[in-house]
């Protein structure tokens, strides 16, 4: 399930929709990318809040971040790579190197400080890849 606010990012603002197959091409096409993992807005309504804040963050960082929306059907596969636990999440990358992640909606100043910190510090080790445990 999606929402009008999340769809707007792709349909109106032109953010690319990232899948497992297109991830590398998207990451290598910009210096710094932020991937938006929305999840299901019916379960995590904060996803709509992040969908409103994300364009403002992109404007604030004036070309230093390229946004992309992770395709709903590939969110779990990509979540396993980046290791965050709480939805919605913004994952920041420099090319294919991990910078950090921010989950849930935050205060504006928290976003600005954390994102600037990611950009200044550069790549770090990403959290360990999650291996899903399935019931027997």
pLDDT tens across 64-111, in order?
999 999 999 999 999 999 989 999 999 999 999 999 999 999 999 999
Q: What are 4-50's pLDDT values in tens digits?
A: 999 999 999 999 999 999 999 999 999 999 999 999 999 999 999 99
In a domain, 129, yes or no: no
In a domain, 132, yes or no: no
In a domain, 136, yes or no: no
In a domain, 100, yes or no: yes
Number of structural domains (the chain) is 1
In a domain, 134, yes or no: no
Predicted TM-score (pTM) of the model is: 0.92
CATH number of the domain within which 59 lies? 3.40.30.10
How far is the C-alpha of 3 from the C-alpha of 19, rounded, in Å? Answer: 18
Host domain of residue 105? 4-121
In a domain, 19, yes or no: yes
């Amino acid at each position: 399930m999606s929402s009008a606010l999340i769809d707007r990012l792709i349909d109106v603002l032109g953010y690319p929709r990232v899948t497992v197959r297109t991830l590398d091409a998207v990451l290598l096409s910009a210096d710094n990318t932020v991937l938006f993992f929305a999840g299901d807005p019916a379960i995590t309504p904060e996803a709509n809040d992040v969908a409103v804040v994300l364009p403002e963050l992109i404007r604030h960082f004036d070309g230093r971040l390229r946004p992309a929306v992770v395709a709903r059907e590939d969110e779990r596969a990509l979540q396993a790579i980046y290791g965050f636990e709480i939805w919605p999440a913004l994952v920041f990358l420099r090319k294919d190197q991990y910078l950090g992640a921010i989950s849930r909606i935050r205060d504006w100043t928290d976003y600005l400080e954390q994102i600037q910190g990611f950009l200044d510090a550069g790549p770090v080790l990403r959290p360990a890849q999650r291996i899903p445990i399935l019931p027997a």
